[in-house]
Amino acid sequence: MLIRHTGNYNWDDVPVLVYKEQGICFKDITRQVLLTGDSELPCQLRYFEVAPGGHSTLEHHQHVHFVVIFRGEGDVLLGDRIYHVQEKDVIEIPAHIWHQFKATANVPLGFLCLVNTERDKPILPTEDDLKLLQKDPAIAAFIR
Ligand code: MN
């Protein structure tokens, strides 16, 4: 199967969805599901794009993400560290690690993300979680 790139980070017959989770709409982020595997490869390959100034959810979960930065640059919180990332960087997000992507430059941040098709729901921070995270000034300034 070939899914043809049709220009401008869109692919043939792949709808561009506004990214939502648990009824919450996150800031300036779209999702495209490029491939959904079968029992031999029970995973999905998605393309997310965060507009300049936008961000993904601050979350953690049991399932793991493999991410490849595909377009632009930005910053990512991984556990207790913030990294600047750019095209072709590869990221593993292990189970139950707080993570959030931000398009901090003046360009979109686009990334491919591989996940299990069957996966647990992300856990969002409680007030107590936020207080713990905010003990680190860099993280306090980063998270949205
Ligand atoms: Mn996640």
Domain that holds residue 51: 5-142
β-pairing, 10-11 vs 81-86, is: unpaired
Digit-coded pLDDT (tens) for 80-117: 999 999 999 999 999 999 999 999 999 999 999 999 99
CA 98 to centroid of ligand 1, rounded, Å: 8
Digit-coded pLDDT (tens) for 3-49: 999 999 999 999 999 876 555 656 789 999 999 999 999 999 999 99
Catalytic residue, from 67, 77, 109, 113: name it: 113
Among residues 103, 106, 104, which one has the least CA distance to residue 49? 103
First to last CA, the chain: 39
Among residues 8, 55, 57, 54, which one has the least CA distance to residue 32? 8
| Mean pLDDT (whole number) for 39-65 | 96
CA 13 to centroid of ligand 1, rounded, Å: 25
For position 22, what pLDDT does the model report? 54
Q: What is the CATH number of the domain that holds 29?
A: 2.60.120.10
Cα gap 111→36, rounded to integer Å: 17
Count of domains observed in the chain: 1
Among residues 26, 27, 46, which one has the least CA distance to residue 36? 46
Residue 25 falls in the annotated catalytic set: no
